[in-house]
Structure formats: C-alpha cells, structure tokens
C-alpha cells in the first residue's frame, strides 16, 4: 500500500494499491521506476511521484511538438472549435494551458475574443507571437491576481491530468465562468478497450507527465459534485497513421469496438 493524496478525500491522503509498475521495459525505458497506484477508496489511477532521479514532469509542454505538427493539431482541434461554436454563439473564450496558442488562433479566426494562459516559458513565447497580449504567462491563479473578467467558455484541453489539484482548479475556473457559460474538458480516457488490453503500454498513458489517469465516468461524477452537469460527451481514438499496416488493422478493430461501446481513448466533455 502507498499513501498519497486523492481527489476523493479533497486532497487528503488515501491508500493506493500498486496497479502498474514500470520495471526494465524494452520500450518506454525512460518510465522505469514509475508506479501507478489505484485508490482503494475511489478507484482512480494516479502516478505516484517516483523517487528522485526518475524523469517525472507534469509541467512538460508540447509547444514545440504542436508547432512542428501544426496541421495534425489543426485537424485534432476541429471538434473543439465545433463545440465552442455550438455552445457559445459569440463572446469570450479562455484556454488554460493554451500551449503555443494554435487552438485559440483557430477560435480567433471564428470571431471569438480569446485569452490564453500558459505556464511553460517556451510555449508561452510562441503563444505571445501568435496572439499578442491575449497570451498570459502563468497559471490561472497568477492570471486572477491581475485580471478579473468572466468568460463565456473555458477550455482545459489535455491539461487537467497534469494538475496536482484539479478540484481547486475547477473551483477557481467556476468563479470566472459566466452563469450561461460552458466548460470544455479534454483528457485521455482510461475507460476504453485499448487501455484494458494495453495497460502500461497504452500510448496516451504518459505516466511521466500525467498525475491523474481519468476515466470518463469518474470525471463526469467529479464535475457533478462541483455542481456542473454534462451537456455533451464525445470520444476519439488515436489514428496511429504511421504504424505498420498489420498494427493499424489491429487498432482499427479495437477502435470499432470502442465505438460500439460508445467510448474512446480520449474524451471531450462539455459542462454547464
């Protein structure tokens, strides 16, 4: 048993059983020593901060990666742009952890008044180039010390799983979300067939960066406790376009199963 803080006890300690342990893996060698615990109270999977010397960095940013693969991400961000257009006619959008600002520049092109917050220096500098003074460096807490405005839409896209205290974060976001506003949350989703089969080898797991490994139903429940109701839920699978043919057939079969069970490797949730 491992003692660590958990979301089910409002940040207080819970007991975790060892669920996955990265030993000397042929692939993912850099994950060696990382332990994923399962909370004995609520069942969430959590990366238990490993001993020093192991590379665990939840503040890692993919700004560079986003920019090099810009076209791919423009494609990936399209469903988010669609959701924003569907739920917010016009108005202001805040992207917390906006990285290099690609998503916000797409929303800006659609006429939204955008603001981005990014703690990572290199990613922020890219966002600043792209968005000018609409990009702020820091966390939401830092931003609120300087500005108090309300937003029609707040986005956390693949950010919440990196934050040690996501409940405190959402409570903060709620304070600056208009009454008619929506929260859009994108995270990897462990509630899918590909994760059940691949476990520690599941590509979106990223145990060296993600603290929390969310399950879509768990997230919906968590937000219910914070007085949000789910307005929409979408699921996506990784296309693995650069995999060899036989592997692509294998994964597309699993992907079909995910679709039958109305789930996927990543989820996009809209909360009101």
For the CB of residue 40, give the shortest distance to Zn ion in the complex, in Å. 8
Three-state helix/strand/coil letters over 255-267: HHHHHHCCCCCEE
Give the interface with Zn ion as residue ranges (CB under 5 A): 6, 8, 14, 39, 41-42
Nearer of residues 11 and 111 to Zn ion, judged by Cβ: 11
| Closer Cβ to Zn ion, 100 or 189, answer by number | 189
Residue placing its CB nearer to Zn ion in the complex, 46 or 134: 46
| Closest distance to Zn ion from the beta carbon of 43 (Å) | 7
Q: What is the CA angle 125-84-254, rounded to 5?
A: 90
Distance CA 53, CA 55 (A): 6
Cβ 5 to Zn ion shortest distance, Å = 9
CB closest to Zn ion, residue no: 39
Q: What radius of gyration, in Å, describes the C-alpha atoms of the chain?
A: 18
Nearest to 170 by CA among 211, 134, 214, 222: 222
**What is 107-132 written as a DSSP string?**
HHHTT-EEEEEE--HHHHHHHHHHHG
Closest approach, Cβ 221 to Zn ion, in A, equals 12
CA 211 and chain centroid, separation: 11
Given the complex with Zn ion, which of 41 and 82 has the nearer CB atom? 41
> Residue 6 Cβ, how far from Zn ion at the closest point, in Å?
3
């Amino acid at each position: 048993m491992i003692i660590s803080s958990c979301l089910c006890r409002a940040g207080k300690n819970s007991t975790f059983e060892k669920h996955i342990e990265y030993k000397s893996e042929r692939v993912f060698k850099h994950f060696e020593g990382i332990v994923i615990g399962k909370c004995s109270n609520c069942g969430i999977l959590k990366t238990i901060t490993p001993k020093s010397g192991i590379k665990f960095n939840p503040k890692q940013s993919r700004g560079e990666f986003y920019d090099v693969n810009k076209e791919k991400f423009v494609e990936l961000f399209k469903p988010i742009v669609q959701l924003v257009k569907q739920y917010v006619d016009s108005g202001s959008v805040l992207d917390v952890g906006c990285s290099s600002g690609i998503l916000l520049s797409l929303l800006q092109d659609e006429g939204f008044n955008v603001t981005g917050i990014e703690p990572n220096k290199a990613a922020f500098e890219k966002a600043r180039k792209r968005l000018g003074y609409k990009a702020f460096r820091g966390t939401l807490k830092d931003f609120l010390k300087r500005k108090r405005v309300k937003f029609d839409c707040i986005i956390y896209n693949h950010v919440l799983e990196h934050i040690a205290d996501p409940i405190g974060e959402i409570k903060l976001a709620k304070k600056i979300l208009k009454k008619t506003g929506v929260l859009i949350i994108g995270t990897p989703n462990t509630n899918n067939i590909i994760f059940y089969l691949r476990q520690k080898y599941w590509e979106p797991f990223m145990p060296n960066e993600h603290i929390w490994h969310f399950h879509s139903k768990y997230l919906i429940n968590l937000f219910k406790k914070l007085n949000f109701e789910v307005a929409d839920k979408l699921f996506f699978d990784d296309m693995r376009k650069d995999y060899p043919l036989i592997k692509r057939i294998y994964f597309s079969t699993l992907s079909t199963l995910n679709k039958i069970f109305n789930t996927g490797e990543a989820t996009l949730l809209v909360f009101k």
